[in-house]
Amino acid sequence: MTRTIDKVVLITGASSGIGEATTRELVAAGARLFIGARRTERLKALADELGENVAWQELDVTDGAAFDAFADAAAERFGRIDALVNNAGIMPLSMLASLKRDEWKRMIDVNIHGVLNGIAAVLPRFVAQENGHVINVASVAARIVTPASSVYSATKHAVRVITDGLRQEHNNIRATLISPGPTTSELGHDVSDPNIAAWIKQGLTAAQSPFAIAQAIRYALEQPDNVDVSEMVVRPTASP
Ligand code: NDP
C-alpha cells in the first residue's frame, strides 16, 4: 500500500456518518487511526473490519478527563499523535420559542465543549513536538442561521472562530475547518419537533455522500507540514 498519510489520527464520532466514512477513507490512505464515540459496538465492528491500523475506545467528548485518557491511550497504542479530527456533533434543531433548554445545553456541551476538550487533550503534545493538526468539522451553519438553527448555528460559529484562533496562536500547528452542507448520516435523528424533522428529511433528499467530507479531510491531511488548509466548504450542487 502507498501510504499517502503516514500519520496517527484521532477521530471522534466514528460510529456513524462522516466519522465512519473518514475512518474508512484514512485507513485506505495508510493512516493509523484511534477512533471514539459512545456506541462501542459500532466502533468495535468497524475496527474488526478494517484491521490492526484501527483501534478504538469509548469516548463521550463532553468529558474532558475521558478525552485526555482517550489521547493517552492513542499515544500508547501507536506511539504518537499527529492529528485530531473533532467530528462528533449533534443537531436537535428547534425554534427558540419551544424553550428546549436541555437540547440547547446538550448541543453546546457536545459541539463546543467537545471540540475544546479535544483541543485540550492534544495541544500540549502538539506544542511539545512542534507539529500537529486539528481538523474541526463545523457546518455551512458556521456562517448562516435559519429558523430553528439558532443554537446549532451558534455552536458551529463558535467552532469556526475557535479553529481560526488556534491557527493564529501557533506557527507549527495546523488548524482546519471543514464545513459540510447536507450529508447523508444519522444527524438530526434526535429532532423532537415532527415539523422540523420533516423539513430536515426534505433537505436531505439531495444530500452528498459522507465520503465527500472524508475526502476533504484526507486532502487537508495530505498537505506538507507548512501548508495549512484553513477552511473547506463542501456542499451538494443542489444545496441553496
Ligand atoms: P451522525 O449523527 O451520523 O454522527 C455523529 C457522531 O457524533 C456519531 O458517531 C455519534 O456517536 C457522535 N457523538 C454524538 N454525541 C457524542 C458525544 N457526546 N461523545 C462522543 N461522540 C458523540 O452525523 P454526521 O456524521 O453527519 O455528523 C458529524 C459532524 O458533521 C457533526 O459535527 C455535524 O454537526 C457535522 N455536519 C453534518 C452535516 C450533515 O448534513 N450530516 C452537515 C453539516 C455538519 P455516538 O452516538 O455513538 O456517541
Q: How high is the ipTM of this complex? A: 0.99
23 lines ligand 1 (CB under 6 A): no
Ligand 1 atom nearest 185 alpha carbon:
3
Among 49-58, 74-83, 198-207, the minimum mean pLDDT is found in: 198-207
Listed by start position, the domains of the chain span 8-234
Q: Is 216 in the pocket of ligand 1 (CB under 6 A)?
A: no
pLDDT tier for residue 81 given thresholds of 50, 70 and 90? very high
- pLDDT > 60? residue 1: no
**CATH, domain range 8-234:** 3.40.50.720
Of the listed 141, 152, 157, 236, which one is catalytic? 152
Question: Can you list the alpha helix ranges (DSSP code H) found in the chain?
Answer: 17-28, 40-50, 64-78, 101-107, 114-129, 150-169, 194-203, 210-222
Asked if 152 is an active-site residue, the reply is: yes
**236 Cβ below 6 A of ligand 1:** no
**147 CA to centre of ligand 1 in angstroms:** 21
Atom of ligand 1 at shortest distance to CA of 111?
A: 32
Question: Which are the contacts of 184, defined by CB distance < 8 A and separation ≥ 6?
Answer: 17, 204, 207, 208, 209, 210
State if residue 119 touches ligand 1 by the CB under 6 angstroms criterion: no
Query: Separation of 23 CA from ligand 1 center, angstroms?
Result: 13
**pLDDT over 80 (residue 3):** no
Average pLDDT for 94-98: 97
**pLDDT tens by residue, 187-221:** 989 899 999 999 888 888 889 999 999 999 999 99
Going by pLDDT thresholds of 50, 70 and 90, the confidence category of residue 239 is confident
Closest residue to atom 41 of ligand 1, CA basis: 183
**Residue pLDDT, tens place only, 109-147:** 999 999 999 999 999 999 999 999 999 999 999 999 999
Q: What is the pLDDT at residue 176?
A: 98
Contact partners, residue 51, CB within 8 Å, separation at least 6: 27
Atom of ligand 1 nearest to the CA of 207: 40
* Cut 0.80: pTM above it: yes
Residue 123 CB contacts under 8 Å (≥ 6 apart), including other chains: 132, 134, 173
Residue 160 confidence class, pLDDT cut points 50, 70, 90: very high
The percentage of residues in the chain with a pLDDT greater than 90, rounded to a whole number, is 93
Cα separation, 163 vs 140, whole angstroms = 15
The per-residue DSSP string of 163-229 comes to HHHHHHH-SSEEEEEEEE-SBSSSTTTT---HHHHHHHHHHTTTPBPHHHHHHHHHHHHHS-TT---
Cβ of 180 less than 6 Å from ligand 1: yes
pLDDT bucket at 40, cuts 50 / 70 / 90? very high
| Residues in Cβ contact with 222 at an 8 Å cutoff, skipping those fewer than 6 apart | 4, 5, 29
pLDDT of residue 2: 67
